Amino acid sequence: MATSRKKISIISPIYNEAENLEPLCHRISEAMKSTSVDYEILLVENGSYDESLEIIRKLRKKNARIQFVSLSRNFGHQGAILAGLSYASGHAVVSLDGDLQHPPELIPAMVRLWQEGYDVVYTTKDGRAKHDDWRFIPTRIFYWFMNLFTDVRLSYGQSDFRLLDRKVVNVINSIPERQKFLRGLIDWMGFRQTGLAYKTEARQFGESKFRLKHYVNFAIDGIFSFSTVPLRAILWLGLVVSGFCLLYVIFLLILYILNASGVIVESLPPGWTTIAVSVIFIGSVQLVALGVIGEYVARVYSQVKQRPDFILREKSGPERK
In the predicted structure, residue 2 carries a pLDDT above the cut 50: no
Relative to beta strand 92-95, strand 158-165 is: antiparallel
Q: Model confidence at 92, in pLDDT bands (50, 70, 90)?
A: very high
Q: At what angle do helices 76-87 and 182-189 cross, to 10 degrees?
A: 50
- pLDDT score recorded for residue 182: 78
The DSSP call for residue 262 is T
Question: How many other β-carbons are positioned within 10 Å of the β-carbon of residue 125?
Answer: 20
65 in Cβ contact with 31 (< 8 Å)? no
Domain locations in the chain as residue ranges = 7-211+311-315, 229-305
Q: Give the pTM.
A: 0.67
pLDDT-above-90 percentage for the chain: 13
In the predicted structure, residue 37 carries a pLDDT above the cut 60: yes
In angstroms, what CA-CA distances link 74 with 47, 96, 129, 133, 310?
4, 17, 28, 27, 9
The upper half-sphere exposure of residue 194, i.e. CA atoms within 13 Å in the direction of its Cβ, equals 12
The DSSP call for residue 130 is G
In the predicted structure, residue 280 carries a pLDDT above the cut 80: no
- pLDDT score recorded for residue 44: 92
Per-residue pLDDT reduced to its tens digit, 223-276: 666 666 666 676 677 667 766 766 766 766 676 676 666 665 555 566 654 665
Neighbouring-strand partners of residue 69? 44, 315
In the predicted structure, residue 166 carries a pLDDT above the cut 70: yes
3-state per-residue secondary structure call for 56-104: HHHHHHHCCCEEEEEECCCCHHHHHHHHHHHHCCCCEEEECCCCCCCCH
- pLDDT score recorded for residue 128: 52
- pLDDT score recorded for residue 11: 93
- pLDDT score recorded for residue 4: 62
- pLDDT score recorded for residue 133: 53
- pLDDT score recorded for residue 195: 84
Per-residue pLDDT reduced to its tens digit, 104-163: 999 999 999 999 989 999 888 775 544 455 555 666 666 666 666 666 666 666 778 899
Q: Model confidence at 321, in pLDDT bands (50, 70, 90)?
A: very low
Select the more confidently predicted residue: 218 or 31. Answer: 31
Q: Any alpha helices (H) in the chain, and if so which ranges?
A: 21-32, 52-62, 76-87, 107-115, 136-149, 166-174, 182-189, 212-226, 229-260, 272-305
Relative to beta strand 158-165, strand 120-127 is: antiparallel
Angle made by CA atoms 305, 309, 314, in degrees to the nearest 5: 125
Mean pLDDT across the stretch 61-90?
88
Q: Model confidence at 197, in pLDDT bands (50, 70, 90)?
A: confident
168 in Cβ contact with 192 (< 8 Å)? no
Mean pLDDT across the stretch 74-98?
88
In the predicted structure, residue 297 carries a pLDDT above the cut 70: yes
- pLDDT score recorded for residue 310: 74
Architecture of domain 7-211+311-315: Alpha-Beta Complex (3.90)
- pLDDT score recorded for residue 119: 92
